[in-house]
Structure 1
Amino acid sequence: MKKRHLAISTALIALLASGCGQNDTETNASEDEEVVVVPISVDLTVPETGKAGEAIQLEAAVTQGDEKVTDANEVEYEIWEDGKKEDSWKVKSDQNTDGVYEAEAKFEHDGVYHVQVHVTARDMHTMPMKEITIGAGTPDDEAESEESHDHHDSAEGFSMHFMEPEAVKVNESAMMIVHLQQDENPLEKARVRLEVVVNDKKDEAKWVQLTEEKPGEYHGEMTFDTAGTASVTVHVENDAGLHEHETHEITIAE
């Protein structure tokens, strides 16, 4: 009888050990598997030409693999005339068709314009860009005049998006986020700093070093002790010789 009980106990222990070993193997196998994240993709549609004063339809179809992305956090169009990025304006979009975010834009006068869509969805960001020529484009004499002015043109293929923090208040931490791309790919390992001037007091400028939290996405926090208007200049450099900057304004409330 005792021998029979001993045999049964031995069999149970072997079975349990086998089960545990199998589970450990399955766990290790699952841990070793790489999780492949499918990036979001944006098909930006912008007419090649248009007329001044007329509404121009803009569309951005956002997908992830074969799936239409209907839950984007942000889809916003930024538009500026060639050579005048500092005078850009933004247009919010509406999703009237699953995964397609639409907007209308009007251009006051003839010229060559850049249309860039900023898409943030599923913890990813991308910002493709296209050009549109309005009317006759830029007259030759005006183009020559613009070339004689000292304005900053971005390096070819480089894109920057400063996500302006909302509802910035005195003595409350504000998160500053900058997205960088080169040839529509995340620009990694860049040195990104913010030069912050409040109420035009340039002699009291403060610098904020940003940290790369995700490929091409840089974060930093800042607290303001004075209400008013802050000029935020984003400085970007890397070991390949890139040196770019853009200036934005944010409002600080009491």
Structure 2
Amino acid sequence: MRKLLWTILLAFAITALAACNSGTNKETEKPKETQKVPQPLKAVLEVPEKAAVKEEINMKVTVSQGDEKVADADKVAFEVWEDGKKEESKMIKAKNNEDGTYEAKTAFDHDGLFTVQVHIDARALHTMPLKPVTVGEGAAVPEGGEHHEHGEQAEHHHHGDHSADFSMHFIKPENVKANNATPLTVHLQLKEVPLENAQVRYEIWNNSHPDKHDWVDVKENKPGEYSGSYTFADAGTFIVKVHVENKAGLHEHEEHQLEVTK
């Protein structure tokens, strides 16, 4: 009988101790911190609306995040191209003034309509505002017709009401080798903010076999950045066509040519 009594008392003691420990754990357990969504980058691009032929112009961008100036951007570069010739664009590395502003200079050797777009990578975010520049007399108007659209929208096939505010930057890979997985990345922006939750696919074909097209699905790694990979089976000239759609009716595409070696 005494042995049974001690067994019951011991069981009560163990139960009470467990309840005590459980209460202590609940009291001392810290609530999980909610993950903060980083504030977007804001980039104010300054370029002249007009420039003379061979006149050196200044390109400047001021980068901020919330109320803070971003003086530690990982990469800032200005891309410049003539209307309808984005494949021939040139990249100009910006100088960091260490006060949130970044600058570079350029000049144009003939009349035409040009676009200046700045690409900013900072704090795991990307933004890429652009502005047009009219050089000299601007673009010549063909006899009996009008000149084509100005700016990057001339490079896209598009539908819907958003296309004028849409921007695409395909990061063209270098030294592409056959039989090696090649990363393919594109940055998308709408109204100067990253375009999220878009459906992005790459259509890829070889000029030697134009009837055979491969399709590559692309994932969004971070807001507005979409990446995938593709292994080119042979050397040669390939076309990578970037297709972009979203639920709001946006439909854009842009072609890029890649030279693949053995």
| TM-score range for the pair, normalised by the shorter chain length | 0.7 to 0.9
Which protein is bigger by CA-based radius of gyration?
A: 2
One of 172, 176, 179 as aligned partner of 1:171: 179
Tell me, in whole angstroms, the C-alpha distance in 1 between the residues paired with 2:22 and 2:247.
55
| TM-superposition CA deviations, 1:36-65 (whole Å, max 9, x none) | 312222121111211112222211222223
Matched, 1:23 2:28: yes
Matched, 1:191 2:199: yes
> Any stretches of 5+ residues in structure 2 without a counterpart?
1-17
* TM-score of the superposed pair, with normalisation by structure 1: 0.79
Matched, 1:105 2:106: yes
Deviation at 1:195, TM superposition (A): 1.4
2:86–2:155 contact (8 Å) kept in structure 1 = no
Q: How many residues align?
A: 236
2:10 paired residue number: none
1:48 paired residue number: 49
* TM-score of the superposed pair, with normalisation by structure 2: 0.77
Deviation at 1:76, TM superposition (A): 2.3
1:8 paired residue number: none
Tell me, in whole angstroms, the C-alpha distance in 1 between the residues paired with 2:166 and 2:85.
13
| TM-superposition CA deviations, 1:122-157 (whole Å, max 9, x none) | 211111111111112234456935349xx6555210
1:248–1:47: structure 2 CA closer, same or farther, 3 Å change rule?
same
Matched, 1:225 2:206: no
Which amino acid counterpart does residue 171 of structure 1 have in structure 2? N
> Any stretches of 5+ residues in structure 1 without a counterpart?
1-12
The percentage of counterpart residues that share the same residue type is: 43
One of 218, 230, 238 as aligned partner of 1:210: 218
1:81 paired residue number: 82
1:36 paired residue number: 37
1:172–1:223 contact (8 Å) kept in structure 2 = yes
1:167–1:252 contact (8 Å) kept in structure 2 = yes
Cα RMSD, aligned residues only: 2.9
Which amino acid counterpart does residue 233 of structure 1 have in structure 2? K
Deviation at 1:33, TM superposition (A): 3.2
Deviation at 1:235, TM superposition (A): 1.2
| 1:2-13 alignment runs, 5 A limit | none
Deviation at 1:233, TM superposition (A): 1.1
Tell me, in whole angstroms, the C-alpha distance in 2 between the residues paired with 1:47 and 1:143.
30
